[in-house]
Structure 1
Amino acid sequence: MFEPSALDLQQARSQQACVACRNQKRKCDKLLPKCSLCTRTGRACEYASVTPRAPANLEALQTRLSELEDRLGSRTASVAAYHSGNASPAVPVSSMSHSVGSGGAEPGSVRPDSPQAAGQAATTARVPSLLFLDVDRFQDSQLRLLTPTVRIPSDVLAVLSFENTVVDAAAVYFDTIHHWMPFISRKRMDLGIPLRSGGPDLAMLFLAMKLITSSPSPAGPATPPGHDPLYTMAKAFLSLFEANGEVSLLCLQAMVLIALYEYGHAVYPAAWMTVGACTRYADMLRITLGEERSSVMDKVTTWTELEERRRLCWAIFVLDKAIALGNRSRVAAAEPPETAALPADDLAWSEGDALHGMAYPVSASYDLPQGPFARLCQAAMLASRAIATRRRIKLMPQQPGADRVSETSALADDILRFDAILSTATADETSSAAGCAGAYYQTLAPRFLAWSAFFVLLDPYCCPVNIAPGDPGHGAVPEAKTAEEMALQRRSTEIIVTVVAKVHEVVRSISNGMSEEAEQEAAQRRLGKFCPLGLDAVYCIMGLYCWLCQEGGDETVKDRLADVDRFFSGVGERWRLAREYLHLKKYHDDAGQLGVGG
């Protein structure tokens, strides 16, 4: 076998360390084409003269992350040694959550320098069973949840430590997803607050950010979304926290991002289960909407932090309602009381401006000015009411027709008023191809959700004959509809026709914007600002167009159906859910059922 000479080995080395090793300040053997460390970790190895500069507003984040990685490395090693009985932790686990700005230990906790610390270090980070078996005693003991101490898997560390992965993922996240689902404080992130107090749960959050900002594989015979390596890695890491009985606010934020990924890429039934788990998780942390209870976490010290927790609850609420639109099953998140506060002004919160952080109660009139996220929450409440009304009427077919009509009409009036207000706000934003992003997408997100509420509520009443016994609006065949039901049919049809025209206009505008985008990377970034919660409304008009094509074969309707196909194909490059909706078209073509199809 040929053995390379010393000269060959010398020539096969780079004159400088690779980019990954330089960023991590690791010793690099400079082997070509890949150094030994990159070969062992399975990551890409590049030799470049200049390391790409991080965005200016996130340079501090990159620096703090490097410091955090060093701390986590020594901390996990010391904790592992302690558990194995070989050594005492260099930094007591029980002191980690109070290491920054705590002003002393929490009531009921044990001082890290006390004799009891050694005996409790391995257990106090876990969720005490007392919280679930006897909540009164838990509150009396004034216990608090501490920073998780699970070991970060090596594959997670390899992903997060590669080049500028964390900085880039955070930058893309705040430039896209954050526009329409702002529940993670960028101000607190820039100030480094989560970095100073976080542990492995912070790594979990960054991994979830990386996941939600990743695009699916190209269309065709590709890896199923549930088998994507980054997704399975995130789910496995999250399961470690559960297996070790450790929870945190950062973990819940990461779980919401994973649920959003599962929803946006049609990973079922995981999406349905994860959203439900998020509601339980929030309830466990005592941060449910409008309900003041003794928290199990550290006390909130700033308005920005309090608002972040409230927005986290609202994000879960919105997801819970959106995911129930299609199957109209029982929702998991409880309705907020009328005294609960909506999200405050988005700009004030993002800048940490507590003086202008005005938040209206849930019962506030739709006419009052609200930020985009508050509007999205209001739309979710309307969708929730529509789902509940549809379920209640279906489960009680004996309810008098006049009562059904009255209840449905009243809710339709509320949605109409809300949509009219949003329409005015959207008109202030340009709908040109260049403007189909940013603020325009922010105003579209709640409108799409409100339009979905229309389809859920009014779909059964649009059918001209009674073909579905037991469904609201459909009596027992061959009974004719009552006068009230016929009046509601006419009104429902008028509303649906108007809504369909609005949805189609937006669909065509977004599709035109995508086709005019020169660079694929820019198109992906634009689509990242599009809220996938709006895809249900587009699917509803697709069902209507399929029905009308079967009934009359109108060429105009066929052209509009082609617009929907083009829209789903384009958005499917970013959100796999759009591809799934496009695949469902065959069921409408095969079944030929009457109805809107929402």
Structure 2
Amino acid sequence: MDIASESRIIIPRIRPSCIQCQRSKKRCDRGKPHCSACIRYGRECVYVLRDDSASMSSVENASLSPVKAAQESEESSHAVFFLDSVLFRRSMNRLPELELSFTDPLLSFIGDFTSDRDFVHLYFSTIHPSMPFLSKKKFTERILNPLSPPRPASILLIATMKLLADQRPEQGPRCRAYYSIKSSLLEAESSCSLELRVLQAIILMAVFEVGHAIYPAAYLTVGYCVRYGNALGLHKAVEHYSEEGFSVTESEERRRSWWAILVLDRYMNLGCVDRAFLTADPSKKSILPIDDAIWEENREINAPVRRLFEPPTTAMGRFSLTAQSAILLGNVFRSIHEPPFSEAFWQNDVKVLDSTLVALTSVSLEEGRHRGIGVCSPSTICYSARLLLHDKERYAVDEFPFAATEDFIPQDFKRDIADGMLQLAEAIHSGSCSPDEITPLCLESIYRSAVFFGREYSRTGTLSEAASCAAIKGALDVIGKRWKAASVYAQMIDARMVTGIL
């Protein structure tokens, strides 16, 4: 062997290389301050000395690590989802799944839900009947299945269900678990994920905050539901019986979730009509939730399709009637917000709206008697809507100078509603009606009925009116052990009586 060959030392060629595009400066610079690839993508060239005979430098490895690349890919997919939906649908068509790490307080609060399912029974027996947007069958088969590893979105949903089903929270509504779940929901928002189960957890959190009068969080959470639901396209689920890419059951669950958001959005504004609701009214051809009994039996395919323009019947089910009552409540808001062309036009509009509310109330009461439901939330929402429609103090005086007239609509309906709520209060005191049957959607009409009796006592001095007001207030105190919002309403009754603001 040639000695010169043995002593030859191969010196690797060292030349500057751009770490953004992995091209040598000689290949990509060509006399320009930046390489063409970096100019195309708006990047700054960063040159390091590169050994052609060696692998990528540690700096390059760090900049192109798999974790960082995957993160950037997920962020890009979400950007495309919002910036160009057509491109997203035709190229990616799927957002990344949620990835979260939960804190110890949240995990200890949930516990072993595969074996301890008392809260599941409580949820489906107390909360679910008035707001049935979860498929009980799918929840049991897919989320509670011990053979299926729990996904982060499912854990969030389970946590909010348990929080809502906890009837006697020891630390009050603003407990440690509440803040842990809120923190996890905020983390889910920042994790580049949009999932139906996360939205359903947010809806349950909104119900919890409304029921326990956690403001302004409740108002903001409902608004968050609207935005999240719109991002998922749930507002379109009420227009189509079966959506592309979803089964009939999945479409029904998405549709019910959107109706739940719409109901909360309308109900949230009852105390302050100056606030505008965030969800637009569905079209008259919009699809209502199917009958609740069919939903529970998982027979969606055989269910008749009911649309919003159809007259209400008991065959529609409780949640369908709740959705229709929320639409009518929205019409009442519009009647109050939009100045009419003339007094005659406004009076006719009020009469028609009032008659429609009366008809829906009758159907709701009949449906409750038929199915053994003591307190039907569609009825109480209709009561609140009628009382609002005829409450002259909540009209703008400058725009509705004729709203003070009371001769075109009989006012004795207010006493009828108040008497009905008084009977409910007496049933609560006697124990024949459990506070668990009262949903947060019932509380406003109960409160307004107490205000009616208080006003009548102030006007006439009749002791029976004062006793009726006190009885309803006492019932609210009892309900307050389950829903703190009821206790707040009871305090407001005291404030009205003391100040004379009736």
TM-score, reference length from structure 1: 0.67
The AA in structure 1 aligned to 2:219 is: W
- Aligned counterparts of 2:83 and 2:416: Cα–Cα separation in 1: 53
Deviations 1:49-79 (A, max 9, x none): xxxxxxxxxxxxxxxxxxxxxxxxxxxxxxx
- The residue aligned with 1:184 is 134
Match of 1:313 among 249, 258, 261: 258
- Aligned counterparts of 2:484 and 2:450: Cα–Cα separation in 1: 17
2:249 is equivalent to residue 304 of structure 1: yes
The AA in structure 2 aligned to 1:406 is: N
- Aligned counterparts of 1:122 and 1:183: Cα–Cα separation in 2: 34
- The residue aligned with 1:424 is 366
Query: Which is further off, 129-138 or 566-575?
Result: 129-138
- Aligned counterparts of 1:353 and 1:167: Cα–Cα separation in 2: 25
2:403 is equivalent to residue 453 of structure 1: no
- The residue aligned with 1:137 is 87
Q: CA deviation at 1:215?
A: 2.9
Assess, with a 3 A threshold, how the Cα gap between structure 1 residues 546 and 323 changes in structure 2: closer, same or farther.
Answer: same
- The residue aligned with 2:119 is 169
Match of 2:200 among 230, 249, 253: 253
Assess, with a 3 A threshold, how the Cα gap between structure 1 residues 177 and 156 changes in structure 2: closer, same or farther.
Answer: same
Work out whether residues 320 and 332 of structure 1, in 8 Å CA contact, stay in contact via their aligned partners in 2.
yes
Work out whether residues 147 and 199 of structure 1, in 8 Å CA contact, stay in contact via their aligned partners in 2.
no
2:297 is equivalent to residue 379 of structure 1: no
Assess, with a 3 A threshold, how the Cα gap between structure 1 residues 368 and 560 changes in structure 2: closer, same or farther.
Answer: closer
Q: CA deviation at 1:303?
A: 2.0
Match of 1:470 among 398, 401, 408: 398
- Aligned counterparts of 1:165 and 1:238: Cα–Cα separation in 2: 25
- The residue aligned with 1:96 is none
Match of 2:431 among 496, 513, 517: 513
Assess, with a 3 A threshold, how the Cα gap between structure 1 residues 123 and 87 changes in structure 2: closer, same or farther.
Answer: closer
- Aligned counterparts of 2:135 and 2:240: Cα–Cα separation in 1: 22
- Aligned counterparts of 1:127 and 1:166: Cα–Cα separation in 2: 38
Work out whether residues 136 and 296 of structure 2, in 8 Å CA contact, stay in contact via their aligned partners in 1.
yes
- The residue aligned with 1:70 is none
Unaligned runs of at least 5 residues, structure 2: 1-61
Match of 2:439 among 531, 535, 547: 531
- Aligned counterparts of 1:263 and 1:236: Cα–Cα separation in 2: 18
- The residue aligned with 2:46 is none
Work out whether residues 339 and 363 of structure 1, in 8 Å CA contact, stay in contact via their aligned partners in 2.
yes
- The residue aligned with 2:33 is none
Deviations 1:336-381 (A, max 9, x none): 1111110011121212113432230011112462111111111111
2:285 is equivalent to residue 339 of structure 1: yes
Q: How does 1:199-218 map to 2 (within 5 A)?
A: 199-215=151-167, 217=169
Flag the structure with larger Rg: 2
- Aligned counterparts of 2:115 and 2:179: Cα–Cα separation in 1: 18
- Aligned counterparts of 1:400 and 1:245: Cα–Cα separation in 2: 51
Q: CA deviation at 1:248?
A: 0.8
The AA in structure 1 aligned to 2:141 is: L
Q: CA deviation at 1:198?
A: 5.8
Q: CA deviation at 1:258?
A: 0.2
Deviations 1:470-499 (A, max 9, x none): 374657xxxxx6xxx3422xx241222222
Work out whether residues 126 and 244 of structure 1, in 8 Å CA contact, stay in contact via their aligned partners in 2.
no
Work out whether residues 248 and 301 of structure 2, in 8 Å CA contact, stay in contact via their aligned partners in 1.
no
Deviations 1:428-471 (A, max 9, x none): 46xxxxxxxxx414x6111111111111101218x9xxx98337
- The residue aligned with 1:157 is 107
**Percent identity between the two aligned chains:** 24
- Aligned counterparts of 1:260 and 1:390: Cα–Cα separation in 2: 26
- Aligned counterparts of 1:352 and 1:492: Cα–Cα separation in 2: 44
Assess, with a 3 A threshold, how the Cα gap between structure 1 residues 425 and 143 changes in structure 2: closer, same or farther.
Answer: closer
The AA in structure 2 aligned to 1:487 is: D
SS where residue 212 of structure 1 aligns?
A: helix
Deviations 1:76-128 (A, max 9, x none): xxxxxxxx999979xxxxxxxxxxxxxxxxxxxxxxxxxxxx94477438861
2:221 is equivalent to residue 274 of structure 1: yes
Q: CA deviation at 1:311?
A: 0.6
Work out whether residues 460 and 473 of structure 1, in 8 Å CA contact, stay in contact via their aligned partners in 2.
no
- Aligned counterparts of 1:291 and 1:174: Cα–Cα separation in 2: 27
TM-score, reference length from structure 2: 0.79
Match of 1:366 among 297, 309, 312: 312
Assess, with a 3 A threshold, how the Cα gap between structure 1 residues 502 and 250 changes in structure 2: closer, same or farther.
Answer: same
Assess, with a 3 A threshold, how the Cα gap between structure 1 residues 120 and 294 changes in structure 2: closer, same or farther.
Answer: farther
SS where residue 74 of structure 2 aligns?
A: coil
The number of residue pairs the alignment matches comes to 438
Unaligned runs of at least 5 residues, structure 1: 1-83, 90-117, 430-438, 476-480, 516-525
Q: How does 1:3-152 map to 2 (within 5 A)?
A: 119-120=69-70, 123-124=73-74, 128-152=78-102
- Aligned counterparts of 1:169 and 1:323: Cα–Cα separation in 2: 27
Assess, with a 3 A threshold, how the Cα gap between structure 1 residues 87 and 172 changes in structure 2: closer, same or farther.
Answer: farther
Work out whether residues 458 and 492 of structure 1, in 8 Å CA contact, stay in contact via their aligned partners in 2.
no
- Aligned counterparts of 2:460 and 2:235: Cα–Cα separation in 1: 50
